[in-house]
Amino acid sequence: MRIFHRSKLLLLGFLAGIVFPLSGLAAGDVVWSALIYASAEQTPLPPPPEIAAYSQKLQRIFGYNQFQILNQHREVMDRRSENWLIPGNGFYLHVGAQQSGANYLLKLQLYQDQRLAVQTIALLARQSPIFLRGPLSSDGQLIIVVAVQ
């Protein structure tokens, strides 16, 4: 009898998740993710507008003074979980994002020439972007940026 009661509660919880899939989500949340090539230049170009707000922090953390966006993606989080792929000059970033309370649980997988190079799980907060150091490339380094906009 107790098992039957629990299974009814589980079924109700599951159905509530289907009927009200956006409960707890902030409507219109957009997760922005980018593959960025960072390098040290004698005369750096100004940062792209998308990362201008982060450029000083990126310089301080990674030690490079020029940042070029290889590719980027904006995902509207209109479901509890979303997945997307960002290609970029021999690299591919797979992002899986799942609502976790007021934050997003991210599963990031960076592929280099179709080989998994880096995999990590991170918690993304609305006011706290994530910066990840990727592999060295040419005379610079790949950086992954993920932020809620």
Other CB atoms closer than 10 Å to residue 131's CB: what's the count?
15
Q: Is residue 61 part of a domain?
A: yes
Q: Is residue 3 part of a domain?
A: no
Name the most confidently modeled range: 8-17, 18-27, 68-77: 68-77
Q: Is residue 9 part of a domain?
A: no
Q: Is residue 20 part of a domain?
A: no
Per-residue pLDDT reduced to its tens digit, 53-77: 999 999 999 999 999 999 999 999 9
Distance, in Å, from the CA atom of 147 to the CA atom of 145, rounded to the nearest integer, reads 7
Q: Is residue 2 part of a domain?
A: no
Q: Is residue 12 part of a domain?
A: no
Distance separating the N- and C-terminal Cα atoms of the chain: 48
Q: Is residue 69 part of a domain?
A: yes
Q: Is residue 91 part of a domain?
A: yes
Domain count, the chain: 1
pTM of the model: 0.79
Give the domain extent around 138. Answer: 25-148
